[in-house]
Structure 1
């Protein structure tokens, strides 16, 4: 069963010292559904207001002890929401105006009144009172809601600030974790490089030198940072496919290999790509490793690619790899000096090598030769913190110990000096003469 909301019955307070007036007003309003309260004086009217909820007061002007103007003024001060009407005669018009001003009276009704007029005035007064009451309720509700919104906004701002701080902290942790992953990744790559160096034995350091020179060449060619890094990684790992080859084959220059040995040897580029492809970070490097023995004229291996078909990173590696291989004796039986190796590259322009890459590399070597003059050789006891290596530091077994451009600190200086003392070795290190940190 649906409950029906009931409309509250308006309550009228009639105040007059004449019983006949009160009776007449009571008879007039009661049939219209009003709740009627009466008082025979202003003091009695105030007493009624103390105990009853009243919507509208009709008070006579002329009353003993307290006239209607004073009564309504006191009622307004304590119960301002109650509508107020004043009954007055024409002789009281002056005091009526004063009463309207002091008591903020809604209307005055002249005696003798017309029933229809006073009924309409009361109806309009109650409607206005209802509108004002609703307005006050809406205003109070809006004020409460505004306050709640302010509190909610403040709470949201606090939560947003707190969440932002949390996200900032998480982001900082992720950045640290990402940097740590990058460091661990590079450590792993260098570890693989060291494994290759251990297999290469006496020619150790080749992969690191190729990687460093290839990255310098990539920078000189204006390649983006990501490609430079991929080329560097490919340089470190370009011989990883040789790990499965026998020692006797690794120790023999390519020019002295038999046809069968060359067939087996040439598989190392494909094996190297296969070893690196499972790592998404190394897929570009893996492509360069596969193709670094391709020739610009299409006679290389393993795929016989020609010209622009060869990945650019592989074309960079091809030049740098041959340059170092000529000097360590893995490409030809006779080892070449740096200058001889450089001269040996020139005939391969447009045949073995991309001419643009070769020209940039030859320019790089000229600059590197000029810069190499600005270095000096020191022994382990002469090392000082802040010195910068101008060349790779390689162990007696060919293992890369420290890369070129490494800045030595006091801890590392002490370790190198202790190592030299313990091994009884006369270590000579190439130090940049023009740079200290």
Structure 2
């Protein structure tokens, strides 16, 4: 018989850490029996006499497990547990049912998703074990949810970190690329200024009385044209080019009477001094680590492939290729300008003399490279505009080196004219009453002053005359 049941009762909580159970049955005797079973186990026990009362308790406080009878007036256990699933899915759900209620039990399983159903009359140890297992499952599910939440949070944080890291890497990469571009441009500018400085210094060697103006630059120009025919890479070609510019640096200590004097007219003492100048040239370049390779070219450019050259009597491949190249280009220029004999030779005759020295003085491959280079159009003789100094305008680009009458470099090819320099040149032309013509590129490549290769510390006024 069903007895009256109070609306609901809340037992005092069990010791800290115990789970909270909600027991729902319309029979007070059943509820009291369940309470006596669970309280000694440390659970907090809540009692309700109907499904509506159970829902009210659930709305007011958290519950870990709900144990409900199947047969109750108004709202049966299947309907009640289905509502619990909808409103409080975190609570585990158990059903007390009789054998005659199998159809309703199946409905409770399907709609309420109960953990287990317990048949009446129950066996106390089995019921306690069932509740314990259900609570353990709930604890595992909660732990899994917490772990899943932590993993999701960590994944989100990791994703944000990766995104931030990618952005930082991209920003850092862009910064490094910008720095590399700046360093590359700075290196190019430094290298260009270094080449201009070497060219200026080479020109200064030829400014002394009796010096052969332009010899070093002409030899360097020939070397540059010969490079592709000898498969020289950019680095090797630049080293040989510098060696050509500086190959006579050891003559800086020669007395004036020796400068410009043909070798055939040298006295024995002068010849001894002349044969020592390659060593002096290498010694002059030794303090500059960047020019050590150039120094070897300077020292060896008077060696002969048959071993009868000076200063070391090197033979064949023992002579660095750069020195063999400079030797051919230098002797060719000396021949056509009269530095090796009392009279200059024509270019064809000079080449004939060089051919006669193959195997003794010269490397045949290098002579062939010179001949091939001379057969090609001179790249410096391109179709530029030839203008007078009075026609100069800011932004015009110098197409060929501007030299003094003695061969000193005043402005290097590629210089972009600016108003100050134009004014200085015009003042010189007007004051000295000379005519000055310059080769300029037809299409300016840059704005005024952006890419100057100006030979430093020189003024057009210093030299007395220009030619370009």
State TM-score, norm by structure 1: 0.85
Query: Within the alignment, does 1:10 sit opposite 2:19 as a pair?
Result: yes
The alpha carbon displacement at 1:380 in A equals: 2.8
> CA 1:335 to 1:401, structure 2 compared with 1: closer, same or farther past 3 Å?
farther
Q: Which structure 2 residues correspond to residues 181-200 of structure 1 after superposition, within 5 A?
A: 181-199=190-208
Three-state SS of the structure 2 residue aligned to 1:12 is: strand
| Structure 2 counterpart of 1:242 | 251
Give unmatched runs, 5+ long, in structure 2. 1-14, 444-468
Q: Which structure 2 residues correspond to residues 54-203 of structure 1 after superposition, within 5 A?
A: 54-199=63-208, 203=212
Three-state SS of the structure 1 residue aligned to 2:117 is: strand
| Structure 1 counterpart of 2:337 | 328
Give the distance between the partners of 1:254 and 1:90, measured in 2 at CA.
132
Query: Within the alignment, does 1:309 sit opposite 2:318 as a pair?
Result: yes
| Higher helix residue share | 1
Give the distance between the partners of 1:181 and 1:166, measured in 2 at CA.
22
Three-state SS of the structure 1 residue aligned to 2:150 is: helix
Question: Which has the larger displacement, 12-21 or 329-338?
Answer: 329-338
Aligned pair count reads: 426
> CA 1:101 to 1:38, structure 2 compared with 1: closer, same or farther past 3 Å?
same
Question: Which has the larger displacement, 117-126 or 134-143?
Answer: 117-126
> CA 1:88 to 1:367, structure 2 compared with 1: closer, same or farther past 3 Å?
closer
> Could you report, residue by residue, the CA deviation over 1:390-420 in whole angstroms, capped at 9, with x for unpaired residues?
x8654223324467x8699797888766654
| Structure 1 counterpart of 2:464 | none
Three-state SS of the structure 1 residue aligned to 2:46 is: strand
Give the distance between the partners of 2:384 and 2:32, measured in 1 at CA.
126
Give the distance between the partners of 1:202 and 1:234, measured in 2 at CA.
19
The alpha carbon displacement at 1:204 in A equals: 0.8
Three-state SS of the structure 2 residue aligned to 1:198 is: coil
> 8 Å contact 2:389–2:436 — kept in the other structure?
no
The alpha carbon displacement at 1:46 in A equals: 2.8
The alpha carbon displacement at 1:203 in A equals: 1.8
> 8 Å contact 2:93–2:116 — kept in the other structure?
yes
> 8 Å contact 1:199–1:243 — kept in the other structure?
no
The alpha carbon displacement at 1:170 in A equals: 1.3
> Could you report, residue by residue, the CA deviation over 1:342-361 in whole angstroms, capped at 9, with x for unpaired residues?
33333322222122222332
Give the distance between the partners of 2:187 and 2:437, measured in 1 at CA.
37
> CA 1:52 to 1:365, structure 2 compared with 1: closer, same or farther past 3 Å?
closer
The alpha carbon displacement at 1:15 in A equals: 1.6
> CA 1:31 to 1:288, structure 2 compared with 1: closer, same or farther past 3 Å?
same
The alpha carbon displacement at 1:423 in A equals: 2.7
Three-state SS of the structure 1 residue aligned to 2:207 is: helix
Three-state SS of the structure 2 residue aligned to 1:199 is: coil
| Structure 1 counterpart of 2:351 | 342
| Structure 2 counterpart of 1:3 | none
The alpha carbon displacement at 1:83 in A equals: 1.0
Three-state SS of the structure 1 residue aligned to 2:405 is: coil
Give unmatched runs, 5+ long, in structure 1. 1-5
Measured on the aligned residues, the alpha-carbon RMSD in Å equals 3.3
Three-state SS of the structure 2 residue aligned to 1:203 is: coil
Give the distance between the partners of 2:417 and 2:218, measured in 1 at CA.
23
